[in-house]
Amino acid sequence: MNHTNQSASPLLNKNDCILIVIDMQKRLIPIISQADKAIENVIRLVKLAKILQLPIVVTEQQNLGETVDEIKSEIKEIQPISKITFSSFGLEEFSSHIGQFNRKTLILTGIESHICVTQTALDAPAEYSIQVVSDAVASRAPHNWKIALDRMQRGGATITSTEMLMYELLRKAGTDEFRAALPLVK
């Protein structure tokens, strides 16, 4: 597991990123600590991904219901990938789907931090750089969220925040993309 940015600059390149939304499902959300904050930040990142034309991939753990309505309404055109494995990479359909984009930076969001998000981050093939958006991932218990972030970072993932990631992808003010994204970062 390499998980280091392959570009000349350590800053993210929007043309190399895929937004991954992991298991933001109706049956789980009511028991998740900081769920409202995670939902809000996932929505902000989905909207930014659309502005920047980043691919968006959504997973759903079987038997836990659909993606929450607040997020689902933003991604109507995206068919979620159903899985029974905790790691998204445990499903060949996921691996082949993200492979078609020919992008090597995965931006991970979703729940639960210490289960499906961590296993996806740690299980990612070495050619992928992993960005975990700390305020767009969540767990039932805050200590599991913290342990998960620490473990993923030790495993080579970069831990970031919604705002840090958004500004890094935008790179500068004064562009049409920045103007379109401005309501998301205010």
pLDDT in tens, 161-170: 999 999 999 9
Separation of alpha carbons 72 and 82, rounded Å: 15
Domains of the chain: 14-185 (3.40.50.850)
pLDDT at 186 over 90: no
Q: Is 1 a residue whose pLDDT tops 50?
A: no
Indicate if the pLDDT at residue 180 is higher than 60: yes
Could you tell me the two tokens for 8? 């000349």
* Active site (catalytic) residues: 23, 83, 116
pLDDT above 80: residue 6: no
Residues 6+ apart with CB under 8 A from 138: 32, 33, 34, 35, 37, 38, 111, 112, 113, 145
Per-residue 3-state assignment (H helix, E strand, C coil) for the chain: CCCCCCCCCCCCCHHHEEEEEECCECCCHHHCCCHHHHHHHHHHHHHHHHHHCCCEEEEEECCCCCECHHHHCCCCCCCCEEECCCCHHHCHHHHHHHHCCCCCEEEEEEECHHHHHHHHHHHCCCCCEEEEEEEEEECCCHHHHHHHHHHHHHCCCEEECHHHHHHHHHCCCCCHHHHHHHHHHC
Predicted confidence band of residue 10 (pLDDT cuts 50, 70, 90): confident
pLDDT at 2 (0 to 100): 47
Give me the percent of the chain exceeding a pLDDT of 90.
Answer: 92
pLDDT-based confidence at residue 8 (cuts at 50, 70, 90): low
Residue 5 pLDDT grade (very low, low, confident, very high; cuts 50, 70, 90): very low
pLDDT in tens, 12-48: 999 999 999 999 999 999 999 999 999 999 999 999 9
pLDDT at 3: 47
Mean pLDDT of the chain: 93
**pLDDT per position as a tens digit, 114-140:** 999 999 999 999 999 999 999 999 999
Phi and psi based region of residue 23 (left: phi greater than 0; alpha: psi -120 to 50; beta: remaining): left
